[in-house]
Amino acid sequence: MARRSVLFSPGDEPALMRKAPASGADTVVFDLEDAVAPANKNAARAAVADVLSDPAFDPDCEVCVRLNPDRDTALSDAEAITSKDPRLDSIMVPKAESADDVLELHELVAARGCDRPVIALCESAGGILAAEEIAAAGPVRAVAFGAEDLAADVGATRTERGEEVSHARQHVVLAAGAAGVDAIDTLVTDIEATDRLTEETEFARVLGYDGKIAIHPAQVEIINEAFTPAAEDVEWATRVLDAAGSAAEQGVIRVDDEMIDAPLIARAETIIDRYEAADEH
């Protein structure tokens, strides 16, 4: 499954939720947490439940719901979204600071007959420091980095260059790699800053991220393009894997005057996996 673009949609905006899959996002997240004011939580739960249970709502993308982080509010979320037969592929656990945080919210939903994998948000100092155990928790299939909440938590000032969150950003992708789960990069808050979004997304890909959060449909195409391997990379990877298959017992092979060993073969495999996953969407 590709998670190049992870598009958030407010849970109290049913029209936007229904339109979200048309953006081309690999994952759409119906948000019951930060995007919804406290006074609108019940209305948002009802709206999300209605969309998820509508037989006409059957998009070709991953459908996720972001719960609230505290247990009592998350319990209300879980009861609402499982009250009918939901078209739901995963849940998002925000502000995760331990594996127990993930397991507790996962169980709230699973206990109601809706056992779904988890995307966990590491977006606090505690969450970043515990990223390894969070990523390795059984239900987790992806971890996402939340730079805005992290900066608020530690009192950092957000900058376009992002040095203040660079250590945390790299720590999350390392934790995801160690656990073998997807890593989703933080958002760009300025939806008009397309050049900045392109630059940040390309850098996230270089770091090893698999995808990036989007907060507006206009951001999705830019993100998808950056995380879809270019044709020349796919051609290189295909030549490498073909050569590796023909020389299975050699430790080092030669492709296009380049000496190829195990790490580069692994890179080629990653490129092909990402290309095929994107092509399936």
Average pLDDT over residues 92-108: 98
Query: Per-residue pLDDT tens for 35-70?
Result: 999 999 999 999 999 999 999 999 999 999 999 999
Q: Is the pLDDT of residue 124 over 90?
A: yes
| Residue 72, pLDDT score | 95
Give the integer Cα–Cα distance in Å for 74 and 250: 54
Residue 224 vs residue 247, higher pLDDT = 224
Closest CA to 113 of 73, 82, 81: 82
What type of residue is 207? Answer: L
Question: 231-246 vs 262-280: helix axis angle to the nearest 10?
Answer: 130
Q: Kindly list the structural domains of the chain, giving each domain's residue range(s) and its CATH number in brackets, ordered by start.
A: 5-227 (3.20.20.60), 231-280 (no CATH)
Give the integer Cα–Cα distance in Å for 274 and 199: 20
Give the integer Cα–Cα distance in Å for 57 and 21: 10
Q: What is the mean pLDDT of the chain?
A: 93
Phi-psi map region of 145: left, alpha, beta (phi>0 left; psi -120 to 50 alpha): beta
Provide CB contacts within 8 A for 122, sequence distance 6+.
96, 128, 130, 131, 134, 143, 144, 145, 146, 168, 172, 175
Question: Hey, is 119 helix, strand or coil?
Answer: strand
| Residue 251, pLDDT score | 65
Helices of type H across 37-97: 41-53, 71-81
Average pLDDT over residues 185-209: 96
- Kindly state the percentage of the chain with pLDDT values over 70: 97
| Residue 270, pLDDT score | 82
Q: Is the pLDDT of residue 281 over 80?
A: no
Average pLDDT over residues 9-36: 97
**In the chain, beta strands by DSSP E:** 5-10, 27-31, 62-66, 90-93, 118-122, 140-145, 182-185, 211-214, 253-255, 258-260
User: CA-CA distances (angstroms) from residue 135 to 58, 118, 122, 172, 177?
Assistant: 29, 10, 9, 9, 9
Q: Is the pLDDT of residue 112 over 90?
A: yes
pLDDT band at 171; cut points 50, 70, 90 = very high
The pTM for the full model equals 0.91
Question: Hey, is 164 helix, strand or coil?
Answer: helix
Query: Per-residue pLDDT tens for 228-271?
Result: 988 888 888 888 888 877 666 666 777 787 877 788 888 888 88
| Residue 170, pLDDT score | 98
Specify the residue for token string 């999350």: 172
User: CA-CA distances (angstroms) from residue 70 to 73, 139, 273?
Assistant: 6, 19, 37
Question: Hey, is 189 helix, strand or coil?
Answer: coil
- Kindly state the percentage of the chain with pLDDT values over 90: 79
pLDDT band at 100; cut points 50, 70, 90 = very high
| Residue 88, pLDDT score | 97
Is there a contact between 190 and 196 (Cβ–Cβ < 8 Å)?
yes
13 C-beta neighbours (distance < 10 Å), count: 18
| Residue 135, pLDDT score | 98
